[in-house]
Structure 1
Amino acid sequence: MKFIGIDISKSTFVAAYPQLKGYQTHTYTNDIKGVKKFISSLSVADHQCVLEATGNYGTLLLYMLCEQNIAASLVNPKQIKHFARMMMAVTKTDDVDARLIALYGEKMHPPVYKVPAEAVILMKHKKVVLRQLKKQLTSLTNLRGSFTVLPRIDKNSLKALDKTIAFIEKQIGGLEADIVNIANEEFSKQIKSLTSVKGIGITLATSLIISTAGFTQFENPKQLSRYIGICPTYQQSGTSINIKGTINRNGDSDLRSLLYIASWSAIRYNQACRETYQRLKAKGKPSKVALIAVANKLVRQAFAICKAESIYIDGYISKKEKTSNFSCI
């Protein structure tokens, strides 16, 4: 298998083709015509494309590759960044980046990207817009609050702010309702399973489904926890360095926040989560550390019941949990 490294930009993308010695690069326009021309140079049996997850600019290329059954891998930009440091790269251009991505594919053999269901793609789009609208709402609400302390307030400005805030709130409510409706229609069984876990509500359940593409993108709960960014980091070397670091924070920050908030409820109503929290607190662990452990517990519970297509039973202990502990903490 030959790995083609691709560096994406808004209007063009650079592809690095492996040769007997080094790589040869070609630049294509980032549109349907350019992608078709690039695909015509590939072989389904011999090539696998590797590109960074750089937002919407690479989506057209990724989906057209998948439509033609050409293997493609979507890689976290941090992985390429650290790989470039390991290779001691001192030059950064589109051509150099494409070669580095191709070399990364050759050395690391990243997994092939799986196109999520249409419903998941639709919910992802809505979630992205929803995130930006909430940021705007917070900004405008803070601005309006700052106006209230002024000795004189321009009524027209205040009126414009109030109308804009009301409009954004209406749009947020509509998008949230759309996401819940799509989730209930397309993933009703998983929604029922997830919301049966004490501590997981409809908002967190839909976010888990969106991030995991209906629990099809991950093979085990450890992978999901790493993706979300709630696994602690460690540094150990010889006898002088032994540091227990913070969580890695590499993944979905919104989902990570929802899980942390859900842990507050879980330690009250979810027996397994409450026992985990109390056990860690008894050992002298800080509350935040114990709550992160509870968030990981919720991820394992959610993963298990969705894969088993069952309903959560509070206090149930599986045979695996009796004999081993597969927590990433």
Structure 2
Amino acid sequence: MQDQEQWIGIDVCKRWLDVHLRPQKQSFRVSNTASGIRELLTHLCPPEAVARVILESTGGYERSVALVLSTLAYPVVVINARQARNVAKAANQLAKTDPVDAAILAWFGEAMKPPIRSLASEADAELQDLVTRRRQLVDLLTAEQNRLSGLRGTAQADIAAHIAWRKDRIQQLDEQIDTQIHPCQPWQAKQTRLMTVPGVGKVVAATLLALLPDLGQLSTRKISTLVGVAPFNRDSGQKQGKRAIFGGRAAVRQLLYMAAWVAVRHNSVIRVFYHRLLAKGKATKVALVACMHKLLTILNAMLNHGTDWQPSNSDGSQSAVPASSFA
């Protein structure tokens, strides 16, 4: 066993895993396959001697190695690639290669000690894949519908047939998502609770379950930052810049945007809040982002307290959740 804790950085691509061990300053490469992961394990200290294993989120290519290491009790953390790149820039590390990136990840782990979070289970990952695939098909369907009016004859008929196929496939995916959620009682209960809120339908609820499993477990500030609807300051000296949202989970934010538009029309709490902001001179999009934030806050508090949506009071306020939940 090593006298010092080991910090491990793994740069992931489709074919390879580039690994850097710190403080040993040892680097090596293995294939991103089952045999390569077994070879990787022969180089590592026992889990109790490893402080962190840091990987970047790489479009799912990191999933296999992360699950194997996590199952063996290694402290695995998957971070946003932007975080590691910003650390490299701060260290004036201009070169970018896979071994350099692995070394930066190991250094990031030792310097920042990011918190360890549980990884998605196989069932969670499958639901995430289904929801993601549905979103991809919806985007492709929109593109095809935009092309339809500019074509004639056979080409237009081909696009129309393609549109019909995509609509049918989206419907099948909706059924697969329902099948994935139905056997899991906690998922089913959460989906039913979320859908009691006017503006939140089955698609939005399933997306929140799949892509925002932290909903109901974090504070308002943290969950808003995670989604990317928390405005950040842009101040320096005497200059006070405009607050703006930044980062976060774009797929969740996109669905929340559509849910907020529906809620402005059909949810008395959000509608009153929206028009109050407009009356104060806020721009339409600013008011809508504020509605997204408020809607997310309500959903987070409902799951945290285990309460359903309640009809609003005469002034448009909603009393299903204690006021302290919105702090």
TM-based fold match above 0.5: yes
Give the whole-Å Cα distance in 1 for the aligned partners of 2:68 and 2:283: 48
Distance 1:263 1:140, change over 3 A: closer
Deviations 1:147-198 (A, max 9, x none): 13xxxx4x3x444333332222211111022213433442121112111122
Matching residue of 1:121: 125
SS of equivalent residue, structure 2 residue 48: coil
AA at the equivalent of 1:254: A
Paired residues of 1:232 and 1:244 also in contact (CA < 8 A): no
Give the whole-Å Cα distance in 2 for the aligned partners of 1:51 and 1:39: 15
Paired residues of 1:117 and 1:213 also in contact (CA < 8 A): no
> Where do 1:192-231 residues align within 5 Å?
192-213=192-213, 215=215, 218-231=217-230
Distance 1:214 1:111, change over 3 A: closer
Matching residue of 2:275: 278
AA at the equivalent of 1:294: C
Deviations 1:71-99 (A, max 9, x none): 10010111112111111111111111111
SS of equivalent residue, structure 1 residue 3: strand
1:136 aligns with 2:133: no
1:46 aligns with 2:49: yes
Pick one of 18, 21, 24 that aligns with 2:26.
24
Paired residues of 2:305 and 2:321 also in contact (CA < 8 A): no
Give the whole-Å Cα distance in 2 for the aligned partners of 1:266 and 1:161: 33
Pick one of 85, 88, 92 that aligns with 1:88.
92
Deviations 1:171-230 (A, max 9, x none): 1111022213433442121112111122222211111111123747x5223222222211
Matching residue of 2:111: 107
Give the whole-Å Cα distance in 1 for the aligned partners of 2:115 and 2:134: 30
Paired residues of 1:7 and 1:13 also in contact (CA < 8 A): yes
Q: How far did 1:317 drift?
A: 6.7
Q: How far did 1:141 drift?
A: 2.8
1:260 aligns with 2:257: yes
Q: How far did 1:65 drift?
A: 0.9
Paired residues of 1:180 and 1:202 also in contact (CA < 8 A): no
Matching residue of 1:311: 308
Pick one of 9, 33, 36 that aligns with 1:34.
36
1:175 aligns with 2:177: no
SS of equivalent residue, structure 1 residue 55: coil
Deviations 1:225-251 (A, max 9, x none): 222211222211111x21124321x23
Q: TM-score with structure 1 length normalisation?
A: 0.87
Give the whole-Å Cα distance in 2 for the aligned partners of 1:193 and 1:2: 44
Q: Note the residue ranges of structure 1 that are not aligned, 5 or more in a row.
A: none
Q: Note the residue ranges of structure 2 that are not aligned, 5 or more in a row.
A: 313-317
Give the whole-Å Cα distance in 2 for the aligned partners of 1:279 and 1:109: 43
SS of equivalent residue, structure 2 residue 76: strand
Give the whole-Å Cα distance in 2 for the aligned partners of 1:203 and 1:38: 40
Percent of counterpart pairs with the same letter? 27
Indicate the RMSD between aligned Cα atoms, in angstroms. 2.2
Matching residue of 1:300: 297
Deviations 1:27-77 (A, max 9, x none): 111100111111232221121210100112111111111111111001011
SS of equivalent residue, structure 2 residue 47: coil
Q: TM-score with structure 2 length normalisation?
A: 0.88
Give the whole-Å Cα distance in 2 for the aligned partners of 1:51 and 1:106: 13
Residue-pair matches, total: 313
Matching residue of 1:161: 159
Paired residues of 1:281 and 1:287 also in contact (CA < 8 A): yes
Paired residues of 1:184 and 1:191 also in contact (CA < 8 A): no
Give the whole-Å Cα distance in 2 for the aligned partners of 1:231 and 1:158: 43
